[in-house]
């Protein structure tokens, strides 16, 4: 009888990955996430409404069963511009959007301008930080809304972690709005996004944290607040904002008409 070798033959370094791949079942291999790639989420996501941003987020949109931190330089302003397309899809499907402690009174005409009905917006006034945290946690646990937006400027790291644990059982969207200074603080939120405004009102977005490679370059999203596209000058409505040429032609035509009327009155 021949002797049985005590050890298996050595494996070349370049064959290690292939051996591991064969050893994993297809289900396990699919669940493996590599840090150099965007995570393939197994939970539901909702499109942000911005194709450029969807391409940079794991799963291609805002995640459910998770908290998302929105950091802004202008509280209660840029959040609406960034989140409006996704919130519109929430209300269109019959869901409610619950606001916890917004710094400013929601502007109904502005909401209507972006396609949000005030009938689906619920505003909860909570001044104290403890009240905001408690209210947000109860809403998340009770699955009370299609989307929850809570303004938590003074939340601590352990409080964010607690909300993240609660959100893992929530089927809606959960957004935590925090100030720009919070970008330097640690957070358990799997997704952190920073929003700012450019010199010509374009919305700049940078993904500060995601399950994937580092997001190096901020995105410039084509967005003008309210109805400004009808009153701004052609210089501001330049092609870099990706506005349709018809909008620029309309502004030029309106300006020419106004000049003609002024000359006619003199």
pLDDT higher at 230 or 161: 161
pLDDT at position 74, please? 78
- At 208 the three-state DSSP class reads strand
pLDDT at position 217, please? 85
- If we measure between CA atoms, which residue out of 135, 122, 76 comes closest to residue 95? 122
Long-range contacts of 141-145 (CB under 8 A, 24+ apart): 141/166, 141/169, 141/170, 143/170, 143/171, 143/172, 144/96, 144/98, 145/95, 145/96, 145/97, 145/98, 145/172
CB 38 within 8 Å of CB 210: yes
What pLDDT digit, counting tens, does each position of 167-182 carry?
A: 999 999 999 999 999 9
Contacts of 53 by beta carbon, 8 Å cutoff, 6+ apart: 205, 219, 221
Instruction: Report the pLDDT averaged over residues 13-41.
Output: 56
Kind and range of the H or E element at 124? strand 121-124
Kind and range of the H or E element at 179? strand 173-179
Angle at 45 between CA 43 and CA 51, to 5 degrees: 145
Number of residues in the chain: 266
CB 229 within 8 Å of CB 237: yes
Q: Name the CA radius of gyration of the chain, rounded.
A: 24
pLDDT at position 190, please? 94
| Mean pLDDT over each residue of the chain, to the nearest integer | 79
pLDDT at position 117, please? 86
Residue with the two structure tokens 């303004």: 151
pLDDT at position 199, please? 79
What pLDDT digit, counting tens, does each position of 198-223 carry?
A: 877 889 999 999 988 887 788 998 75
CB 203 within 8 Å of CB 78: yes
The structure's pTM equals: 0.72
- If we measure between CA atoms, which residue out of 205, 195, 168 comes closest to residue 71? 195
Cα–Cα distance between 43 and 171 in angstroms, integer? 9
> What kind of fold does domain 34-226 have according to CATH?
Rossmann fold (3.40.50)
Cα–Cα distance between 204 and 124 in angstroms, integer? 29
């Amino acid at each position: 009888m021949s002797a049985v070798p005590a050890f298996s033959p050595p494996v070349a370094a370049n064959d290690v990955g292939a051996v591991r791949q064969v050893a994993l079942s297809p289900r396990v291999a699919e669940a493996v996430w590599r840090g150099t790639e965007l995570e393939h989420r197994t939970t539901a996501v909702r499109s942000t409404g911005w194709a450029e941003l969807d391409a940079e987020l794991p799963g291609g949109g805002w995640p459910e069963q998770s908290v998302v931190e929105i950091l802004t330089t202008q509280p209660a302003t840029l959040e609406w511009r960034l989140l409006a397309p996704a919130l519109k899809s929430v209300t269109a499907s019959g869901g409610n959007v619950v606001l916890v402690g917004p710094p400013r009174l929601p502007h109904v005409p502005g909401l209507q301008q972006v396609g949000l009905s005030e009938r689906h917006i619920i505003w909860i006034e909570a001044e104290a930080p403890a009240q905001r945290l408690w209210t947000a946690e109860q809403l998340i646990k009770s699955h009370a809304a299609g989307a929850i937006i809570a303004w938590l400027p003074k939340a601590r790291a352990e409080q964010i972690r607690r909300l993240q644990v609660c959100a893992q059982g929530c089927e809606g969207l959960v957004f935590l709005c925090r100030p720009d200074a919070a970008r330097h603080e640690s957070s358990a939120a799997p997704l952190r996004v920073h929003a700012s405004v450019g010199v010509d009102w374009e919305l700049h977005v940078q993904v500060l944290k995601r399950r994937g490679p580092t997001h190096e370059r901020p995105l410039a999203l084509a967005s003008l607040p309210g109805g400004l596209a009808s009153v701004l000058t052609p210089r501001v409505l330049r092609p870099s904002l990706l506005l349709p040429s018809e909008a620029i032609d309309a502004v030029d035509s309106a300006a020419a008409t106004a000049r003609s009327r002024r000359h006619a009155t003199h």
